Structure 1
């Protein structure tokens, strides 16, 4: 049998591609995950620092303290921000303007994990403009996009197998959450539950490695403290579970309302007589003029609630409704920000308000509104995203309060069930996918074949037939890609090619029989 493998075949990068296509490349994948964690963590630190130093010019008390601005400034700043966002997005083609966690899930589930550099740049700078401009959006969604794109683009640059791109993107997404909140465990669970939407054992180690590396960078930069400094607040009595249950019911209804309003606003975006980005700026400026606490992510308000410094029930309820409506409207109109941070604020407001009302109506001793605010945070995030484990672990790591686990699980169950029932379809991301015409239901077979590279079943022992041209498939393709190529060309055998120094080199063959034997 002739040897058709020139020296390029033995090149280390080629060997890495072959190994990553198969099932025994966990050490190599973990090393790449660590690199992605460092790259994504560094980008997210840069992201935060740009926002911090930009807002420090007019917010000397901190990023979130927009209430210190004059009334007119609170109206003008979001309008100016919307103009800059519009100019930025007009520089790219329409198909490159999709951003956020929705975009990441869409690319991973329906486009083989391939993400674009242009979209990442738009997300990075667009979210900076939105946050500097005081929009009621979060930084975690943009962070996940930037992190996931970092992993995907690195894999594409190295021409790694397509079956690894989803894992590499998950590494970046986990690193983003880890660096944003200083919560490595929450980063891993969030990447699996929200981004990849699948718990795969061979993905956990690389994703964990990425989250750890990003957390190390974050702690070097900002210290080991969690995002919110909260005293340990135990549940006073089991009677408080009644208050928690009532609060969870309300939060489930609020989460469903938020999802419905956000989707309705997005559906009307093309029918407006004014550019939706500019309209979002005008709307945000108007709300900020009358109620400055709605501006920004809301972390300063959460700090006040958790430390018992915001006690007025009427103000809590007004601010909760205003935050929900404003966040749903501006994100629905296309402002490139996330909803995780604002959802935590909405939940904290609802939980604190119900804690106060329970204390007043039931006359219970030692009821802590801060404790119920914590429960509200975890319930709202879980219900909006339909991601119970991600929400639970996020709040647990943020607060480092073990007393929250049992009552948090209780409220999560109630809030997720009610929100899911009222939306009929699921969380915000899944509803957005359905609105775009996607069906999230893949066959198990397609999922399996998409996660394995052609090198998994490739044979290196073959003979070339001079009278028959071999249909090529790249070495980084998945088994699902190979089957689709076979169907298109009505063939049973494909030649697996890798990029050499001057031309593509045949390194093996893959047959339909080998693929059938693999999944059987």
Structure 2
């Protein structure tokens, strides 16, 4: 019955595609599909936001507002354990950094994403964040939207470039819907996801972003993830303070990035999934028990600081009695800034589902409030704490994500105005420049670039990275045993069309190679043919290649050795040979295909 339904769907789909080709141009169809993806991404964002806030509301009914809350020890631990269980046994996929996985799909998997990612991240992130995981919803919903775009493009048999654009449309629609910020959605897609796509693809992104926002407005109204109405304008005389603060935001971004690497890498050394989840969940719970604002996304804390309700920061904390003292508030917020990256790293590293979008905004907001409040207290200035809080969100986000334009327009849009555009530009630019001095790549791309799974701006390396070494290994070379005689080898020469003969022992290990040039002079000497043993005339190959090796590394070996053929060895066993000419041929085909698409 299932096969019959599948066959019927395939038939209908084929008829639709034929009709589409006859009646709708490729460009128009791309725009229509972009709109659909925007609508679906917007709907997914609404569902995820509503689900998470419902979970949080239900769980917080049992929390004491002004006292010690032992339930904080249970919620994050249960959330991460449940997330790991669902991801491992229900969806059978690993989580990690969602944006990184999108970039990997574009770079190494022809922009094809698993179908399960159209909904898996919604479920797992709802559990993680709902139970207090110290991460954000933005990355999971971007993964969801991107997967919708990728799979819809695949369903409609679109090529790699259009599939990549529609993947970006899903990301744009998701960001637009969750923040009610259509311009930010487009810029995020162009700046973070589609760095290699031409600006001519701007229109589909714009349509998807607008459609995503419309869905959110219809279903949620003004109840979006985060918004704030500006009450104070920018004062030009405060420019010097913003310049100093921009450099501070860059250093805070660097701290966030480095601590994330250390703690996430540390907890991932625990190989047992549930053991890692238990250790990470319990550690996170202890942090949240001490610093309740770290619970969940943290947007409520930012909103409280923006309107001056600093006492709200101490809600659910055993330190509530100190909320009346400004010094204690500043110290408390500084401590939160120090441990927030640890909490985020533990959440993701332990197996939770979420992103660093919200944590970077949280860190920036607290940094701006601490900077302005401290300056007002010590230097007797009158800096706007709300303005610095907002600009700080922009600065740290710009540094952590390496996305200055996205950060600028996000804060401009969620504040419904461009009053702060000048300080936003200054702080974003300085923060980005500061962290770029220490970290050339964003937290999303660094690991991919280090492993060779993402290559930016180098077209030759990008095309090379698309070549699968395993598919171009040559296995038609005739092998010879090291104890065989030259006469046995001559018999192979008569059968072979190649001039290289791998010398392989009984354990399938490569001991050396013999070329036709090595035996040309002695192969017609009867005495040599009978007495010379192969292992006495073989030579060691100049280098060896692994099937898992990156193509750029392979080309470097060819360059260093000046060889045209190198043996491929897998776990000590001989597999075959790879030739430079075969690589060039595969490169040419990939380049032609990319140009055609």
Alignment TM-score, normalising by the size of structure 1: 0.78
CA distance in 1, matches of 2:336, 2:361: 13
Matches within 5 A, 1:103-502: 103-198=101-196, 200-224=198-222, 227-238=226-237, 240-272=238-270, 275-310=275-310, 312-364=329-381, 366-423=382-439, 425-441=440-456, 443-444=458-459
SS in 2 for 1:57: helix
SS in 1 for 2:188: helix
Identify the residue that residue 32 of structure 1 maps to in structure 2. Answer: 33
CA distance in 2, matches of 1:440, 1:229: 38
Contact residue 134 and residue 295 of structure 1 kept, 8 A: yes
Contact residue 66 and residue 134 of structure 1 kept, 8 A: no
CA distance 1:207–1:357, change in 2 (3 Å):
same
Identify the residue that residue 470 of structure 1 maps to in structure 2. Answer: none
Which gives a bigger RCO, structure 1 or 2 (Cα 8 Å, sep 6+)? Answer: 1
Identify the residue that residue 13 of structure 1 maps to in structure 2. Answer: 17
Paired residues in the alignment total 451
Identify the residue that residue 45 of structure 2 maps to in structure 1. Answer: 44
CA distance in 1, matches of 2:65, 2:219: 28
Q: Between 316-325 and 188-197, report the one with greater CA deviation.
A: 316-325
Q: CA deviation at 1:204?
A: 0.9
Contact residue 265 and residue 333 of structure 1 kept, 8 A: no
CA distance in 2, matches of 1:383, 1:403: 22
Contact residue 131 and residue 139 of structure 1 kept, 8 A: yes
Q: CA deviation at 1:12?
A: 5.1
SS in 1 for 2:89: coil
CA distance 1:110–1:369, change in 2 (3 Å):
same
Q: CA RMSD in A?
A: 3.4
Contact residue 176 and residue 183 of structure 2 kept, 8 A: yes
Contact residue 276 and residue 350 of structure 2 kept, 8 A: yes
Q: CA deviation at 1:300?
A: 0.4
Contact residue 230 and residue 306 of structure 1 kept, 8 A: no
Contact residue 412 and residue 420 of structure 2 kept, 8 A: yes
Contact residue 80 and residue 350 of structure 2 kept, 8 A: no
Q: CA deviation at 1:358?
A: 1.9
Contact residue 41 and residue 175 of structure 1 kept, 8 A: yes
Q: CA deviation at 1:133?
A: 1.0
Q: CA deviation at 1:123?
A: 1.6
Contact residue 256 and residue 384 of structure 1 kept, 8 A: yes
CA distance in 1, matches of 2:371, 2:378: 10
Q: CA deviation at 1:153?
A: 0.9
Instruction: Render the CA deviation track for 1:155-183: whole Å, top value 9, x for unaligned.
Output: 11222222211111101000110111111
Q: CA deviation at 1:196?
A: 1.4
CA distance in 1, matches of 2:177, 2:359: 18
Contact residue 95 and residue 352 of structure 2 kept, 8 A: no
Instruction: Render the CA deviation track for 1:410-447: whole Å, top value 9, x for unaligned.
Output: 11111111111122x22111213235442423533787
Identify the residue that residue 552 of structure 2 maps to in structure 1. Answer: none
Instruction: Render the CA deviation track for 1:104-130: whole Å, top value 9, x for unaligned.
Output: 111112211000023444322111110
Q: Between 10-19 and 335-344, report the one with greater CA deviation.
A: 10-19
Q: CA deviation at 1:278?
A: 2.1
CA distance in 1, matches of 2:407, 2:585: 48
Contact residue 97 and residue 119 of structure 1 kept, 8 A: no
Q: CA deviation at 1:51?
A: 1.6
CA distance in 2, matches of 1:228, 1:515: 47
CA distance 1:241–1:34, change in 2 (3 Å):
same
CA distance in 1, matches of 2:198, 2:463: 11
CA distance in 1, matches of 2:105, 2:379: 50
CA distance 1:516–1:305, change in 2 (3 Å):
closer
Gaps of 5+ in 1: 1-7, 452-486, 493-510
CA distance 1:142–1:93, change in 2 (3 Å):
closer
Instruction: Render the CA deviation track for 1:34-87: whole Å, top value 9, x for unaligned.
Output: 0011111112211112222223223359xxx99678611111111111221121
Gaps of 5+ in 2: 1-11, 311-325, 467-580
SS in 2 for 1:112: coil
SS in 2 for 1:129: helix
CA distance in 2, matches of 1:66, 1:248: 38
CA distance in 1, matches of 2:351, 2:395: 26
Instruction: Render the CA deviation track for 1:347-404: whole Å, top value 9, x for unaligned.
Output: 011111111122233322x321111111100000000010000110111101123121
Structure with higher Rg: it is 2
CA distance 1:297–1:96, change in 2 (3 Å):
closer
Identify the residue that residue 467 of structure 1 maps to in structure 2. Answer: none
Alignment TM-score, normalising by the size of structure 2: 0.69
